[in-house]
Structures are given as structure tokens and as C-alpha cells.
């Protein structure tokens, strides 16, 4: 896969979004559907909001209750998507679980669970989707949802940060490995308000807010334009991690 590809990678027409039950994942699904893109999405629980989108766009959606760590289930879901919507040429790896404990208080089993959910499973899913895409002679786009935690240290998030940093690194290697056949990028949001209230104390939260030039924490709406661009617009951005945190990390 070392020969360069001169033609541009076309916009994604069938996008698979993991972890789409709420928050950013749900926002990505709704945003793409509103722009005429066919969207498949899964999460451990199919929420009423997802069901409402399926009713609104019955011919352009396929949703399912799937745990991303269940390899056979995710592969079966991808095949269902292909049968209904067509070959998946856009992938958004958004599924993840968080952490809210100091490393010395986090059990080995919990560390393994975080790594399996946030890093191993997305890499396995990406492999499966891209193998099927390339076998059809097609090209595609991958957007990994990482985090500012992968680039900057925060207490209580050691294992979580390791997975997000790992996914950032994988993004760069994917871009190099597929030599233009796949545009692979990441978006690295700052803390969403709900995450911050659950993980960080009020003192640290106030400190982060004070040093954020934009004056507000990240929202899903802040991230959607970048995801949309990376999936749908003509771009030469590849192998990059776009930080969206209001300038808090500068």
C-alpha cells in the first residue's frame, strides 16, 4: 500500500458511528442525516433519540444495540449496514468509557476494560471496515474521537488518557499506511461540561475555565463542524488531530 494515490478521496456516503446513543455521537448522526448522508450507528443502548431519527429518516439509517467490545456482533452489524445502505466509506470511532479514579485506586480489571473499549475495539472495527472497503476498490475516511487528555495530563484519567493518546498515534500511522486511499484524522475535544463535573473537582474545573481563552467549555456543537469537514469536504488534511478546546491547552 505504498504507492501514492493522486485522485482525491470522495466524500463519505455511508458513515458508521459508534457510541451514538447521546452527546457527541448522537449529534454527529443527526448532523450527517440532515445533510443527506446515509448513517449507521450503534451503541450499547438504542435511545429514544436514536429511534426518533430512524423514524424520521427510515431509508437512510440503520441502528442497533451493539457493544463495541463484542467483535462478532460489530462485524455482523457492519454486514447488515452494507446490505441496507451500501459499503461503509466513512467511520467515526466515538464509543468510549471514562475514568474517575486515581491510577493507584483503579483496579487492573478496570484498566483492561478501558483499554479494550477505547483503543483495542476501535482498532479492530477499523480494520474490519477498511478491509471490506478496500476489497471493493473503494477509498474512505476515518475520524477518531480522541481527547485533549491524550495530549495533556489530568489526574484521575491515566488509563483513559493512555487510550486517547494511543488512538491519536494510530491515526497518524493509518494515514501513512494507507497512502491516500484512506484519509484518517482525529478530533480531540476538550472536556465536555458533563464529563468535567463527573471527573474533576470544582477547583480544577474553575482553573481550566479561567485559562480557556474562549471563556467556555467544549460542547458537542463545537466539534460537529470539524467532523463534518473531515468526512464530507474536499480536504488535504490527513493524519492530524484537531484540538477543539477553546484554546485551553495553548
Would you kindly state where each structural domain of the chain is located, as residue ranges? 14-244
Placement of cell 463534518 in the chain: 228
Q: Is it the case that residue 45 has pLDDT exceeding 90?
A: yes
pTM of the entire predicted model: 0.92
Share of the chain above pLDDT 70, in %: 92
Average pLDDT, the chain: 92
pLDDT given for residue 199 in this prediction: 59
Is the pLDDT at 80 greater than 50, yes or no?
Answer: yes
Does CATH number 3.40.50.720 belong to domain 14-244?
A: yes
User: Residue 72 burial by CB count (10 A; 0-12/13-18/19+): exposed, middle or buried?
Assistant: exposed
pLDDT at 94 over 90: yes
Per-residue pLDDT tens digits for 171-222: 999 999 999 999 999 999 988 766 545 556 667 677 777 888 887 888 899 9
Q: Which residues are CB-neighbours of 233 under 8 A, at least 6 positions away?
A: 11
List strands edge to edge, sheet with 241-244. 61-65, 38-43, 14-18, 90-93, 140-145, 182-189, 241-244
* Catalytic positions: 160
Q: Who has greater pLDDT, 218 or 103? A: 103
Amino acid at each position: 500500500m505504498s504507492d501514492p494515490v493522486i485522485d482525491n478521496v470522495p466524500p463519505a456516503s455511508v458513515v458508521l458511528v459508534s457510541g451514538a446513543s447521546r452527546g457527541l455521537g448522537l449529534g454527529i448522526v443527526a448532523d450527517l442525516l440532515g445533510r443527506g448522508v446515509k448513517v449507521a450507528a450503534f451503541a450499547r443502548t438504542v435511545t429514544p433519540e436514536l429511534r426518533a431519527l430512524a423514524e424520521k429518516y427510515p431509508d437512510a439509517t440503520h441502528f442497533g444495540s451493539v457493544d463495541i467490545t463484542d467483535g462478532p456482533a460489530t462485524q455482523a452489524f457492519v454486514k447488515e449496514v452494507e446490505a441496507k445502505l451500501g459499503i461503509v466509506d466513512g467511520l467515526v470511532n466515538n464509543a468510549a468509557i471514562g475514568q474517575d479514579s486515581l491510577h493507584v485506586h483503579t483496579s487492573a480489571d478496570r484498566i483492561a476494560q478501558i483499554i479494550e473499549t477505547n483503543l483495542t475495539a476501535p482498532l479492530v472495527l477499523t480494520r474490519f471496515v477498511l478491509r471490506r472497503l478496500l476489497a471493493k476498490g473503494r477509498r474512505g475516511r476515518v475520524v477518531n474521537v480522541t481527547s485533549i487528555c491524550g495530549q495533556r495530563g489530568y489526574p484521575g484519567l491515566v488509563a483513559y488518557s493512555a487510550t486517547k493518546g494511543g488512538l491519536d498515534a494510530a491515526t497518524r500511522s493509518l494515514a501513512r499506511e494507507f497512502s491516500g486511499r484512506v484519509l484518517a484524522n482525529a478530533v480531540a475535544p476538550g472536556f465536555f461540561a458533563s464529563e468535567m463535573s463527573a471527573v474533576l473537582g470544582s477547583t480544577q474545573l474553575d482553573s481550566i475555565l479561567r485559562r480557556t481563552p474562549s471563556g467556555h467549555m467544549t460542547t458537542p456543537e463545537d466539534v460537529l463542524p470539524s467532523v463534518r469537514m473531515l468526512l464530507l469536504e474536499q480536504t488535504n488534511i490527513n493524519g492530524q488531530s484537531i484540538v477543539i478546546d477553546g484554546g485551553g491547552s495553548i
